[in-house]
Amino acid sequence: MKSLDAFAQKKLAALANKGLQRKILDTDRTKDGGVLRKGRQLISFCCNDYLNFNHHPKIKRAATQAIKQYGTGAGASRLITGNHPLISQLEQRLARLKDSEDACIFSSGYMANIGIIPALANEQDIIFIDELSHACLRAGGEMSGAHMMFFRHNDMTHLQTLIDQHRLNYHKALILTDGVFSMDGDIAPLGRLSCLAKKYDCWLMSDDAHGLGVIGGGKGSRYIFDPLPDIALQMGTLSKAIGSFGGYLCASKPVIDLIKTRARSLIYTTALPPANAAAALAALDIIDSDPDYCRRPMDNALFFTKALGLPDAQSPIVPIIVGDTAKTMAFAAALEEDGFLVTGIRPPTVAEGTGRLRFTFSARHSQKQIHALVASIQKHNILKAGNTA
Ligand SMILES: *Cc1c(COP(=O)(O)O)cnc(C)c1O
């Protein structure tokens, strides 16, 4: 269709004009934790494979074995014939890890959020959501039809004010937040959130995509708090530190039963392939048995922030806010020239004027590699140009 192509071209040209056209580049993630892009070997500081499980021999063996035994695909939705026993086993395993009664596996973290929230809330309800929450928490909220109210990032006074003003006008209420914020690397005040949730009968949901495996002894961001906060809905992904694919929700038995009956992104999509479940199970075994290894990404992030004189990292994610989009992308290109892959993050992933370099640290980065990265950042005066979060 000519009109369709014309629309796409015009829209793209307008985005390109603002430096917002995105390109997806072929990237081969090599065994040593590096990447191969455009024929060049780079050290990646932007993968979410925090524990380098993508190439872990035990995990690869578990996945390969599962493919040999069960094949490559799931064949159907979990409600038809796709519910492989390995998926049920993985649910039990995650429920145990998160100290919850039950769990539900989805095909991805995004699918989890757009399934869970609309199954729990509708037009008569209200959702309080941290303004920096991940795009798929926001998408789930919007799909539910509930009234969305954004509270200022990690600002409990603002949340309390919004609850005071609005809670009573609605039936049910949810509070949504990232556990570890994906673009900022800081952590939600889960203790205080759980107190507010309890006091005003709001259902607290945390998206701990970046916490599992690397924070709280590998159990996630909830586990750095004492006392342990009550989080009714603990959601996360198997595609980051776990090195596999898939999303999950840990919650009480009645909630999980309802989700399995009502979440459309679970019912109307094909189940996770058995090999992904096998890989995740093997990864959780390693996390259980080796807390020292799980601490390494965090230690590396702290080494980085100390070397640059930044505030201590709270997670393996450390942003340097540059601001201007073109400048952000130019710095990313300069680092790539020096051999480091650090993707620039720009709107609409982050707010206008907060373009940033987002560094993620993994278990296998060496201090020598981090030193070299720090030297490159200093050489290009990146810190002076930005103001760090
Ligand atoms: C990556 C991410 C997701 C999406 O998980 P996938 O399994 O990759 O779909 C959800 N929430 C947060 C906070 C994330 O960072």
Same domain as 240, residue 159: yes
How far is the C-alpha of 200 from the C-alpha of 29, rounded, in Å? 46
| Number of domains into which the chain is organized | 2
What six digits make up the tokens of 93? Answer: 């395993």
pLDDT of 389 higher than 70? no
Provide residues with CB under 6 Å of ligand 1. 108-110, 134, 136, 178, 182, 207, 209-210, 237, 239, 247
Say which residues have a Cβ less than 8 Å from residue 227's Cβ, sequence separation at least 6.
191
The counts of H helices and E strands in the chain are: 14, 14
- Rounded average pLDDT over 30-55: 90
- Rounded average pLDDT over 357-378: 97
Same domain as 89, residue 134: yes
The residue whose CB lies within 8 Å of the most ligand 1 atoms, and thus the one to mutate among 240, 345, 350, is 240
pLDDT of 311 higher than 70? yes
Same domain as 234, residue 88: yes
Q: Given pLDDT bands bounded at 50, 70 and 90, which one contains residue 26?
A: confident
Same domain as 303, residue 249: no
- Rounded average pLDDT over 236-256: 98
What is the number of other CB atoms lying within 10 angstroms of the CB of residue 238?
A: 29
Ligand 1, atom 10, residue with closest C-alpha:
109
- Flag whether 66 is in a domain: no
Amino acid sitting at position 186: D
Residue 360 CB burial class (10 angstroms; 0-12, 13-18, ≥19): buried
Say which residues have a Cβ less than 8 Å from residue 360's Cβ, sequence separation at least 6.
45, 46, 47, 48, 50, 297, 316, 317, 318
- H or E segment at 130? strand 126-130
- Flag whether 102 is in a domain: yes
210 alpha carbon – ligand 1 mean position (Å): 8
Residue whose token pair is 């100290």? 99
pLDDT of 19 higher than 90? no
Atom number of ligand 1 nearest to Cα 182: 15
* 3 state DSSP class of 105: strand
Ligand 1, atom 2, residue with closest C-alpha:
209
Atom number of ligand 1 nearest to Cα 178: 13
Say which residues have a Cβ less than 8 Å from residue 198's Cβ, sequence separation at least 6.
230
Percentage above 70 pLDDT, the chain: 99
- Rounded average pLDDT over 301-326: 96
How far is the C-alpha of 234 from the C-alpha of 249, rounded, in Å? 6
- Flag whether 288 is in a domain: no
Atom number of ligand 1 nearest to Cα 108: 7
Chain centroid offset of residue 23 CA: 21
169 alpha carbon – ligand 1 mean position (Å): 31
Mean pLDDT (the chain, rounded): 95
What pTM does this model have? 0.95
The residue whose CB lies within 8 Å of the most ligand 1 atoms, and thus the one to mutate among 116, 136, 153, is 136
What six digits make up the tokens of 38? Answer: 């455009």
Q: What is the CATH number of the domain that holds 257?
A: 3.40.640.10
Same domain as 321, residue 257: no
Amino acid sitting at position 42: L
Closest CA to 270 of 79, 65, 69: 79
Chain centroid offset of residue 268 CA: 23
pLDDT of residue 387: 53
pLDDT of residue 1: 80
How far is the C-alpha of 301 from the C-alpha of 74, rounded, in Å? 38
pLDDT of 169 higher than 80? yes
- Flag whether 229 is in a domain: yes
* 3 state DSSP class of 150: strand
- Flag whether 9 is in a domain: no
Ligand 1, atom 5, residue with closest C-alpha:
109
- Flag whether 129 is in a domain: yes
Same domain as 192, residue 87: yes
Q: What is the CATH number of the domain that holds 383?
A: 3.90.1150.10
pLDDT of 371 higher than 60? yes
138 alpha carbon – ligand 1 mean position (Å): 12
Say which residues have a Cβ less than 8 Å from residue 327's Cβ, sequence separation at least 6.
355, 385
Chain centroid offset of residue 313 CA: 17
Q: Given pLDDT bands bounded at 50, 70 and 90, which one contains residue 386?
A: low
Digit-coded pLDDT (tens) for 53-92: 999 999 999 999 999 999 999 989 998 888 999 999 999 9
Same domain as 230, residue 144: yes
Tell me which residue range forms the domain holding 377: 21-54+293-388
Closest CA to 134 of 207, 194, 232: 207
pLDDT of 33 higher than 80? no
Taken as a whole, the chain contains a residue count of 389
DSSP state of 82: I
- Flag whether 281 is in a domain: no
- Flag whether 63 is in a domain: no
Digit-coded pLDDT (tens) for 109-121: 999 999 999 999 9
Atom number of ligand 1 nearest to Cα 133: 13
211 alpha carbon – ligand 1 mean position (Å): 11
Tell me whether strands 40-44 and 34-37 are parallel, antiparallel or unpaired: antiparallel
217 and 188 Cβ atoms separated by less than 8 Å = no
Angle (CA) 78 83 86, round 5°:
140
Ligand 1, atom 1, residue with closest C-alpha:
209
Same domain as 212, residue 255: yes
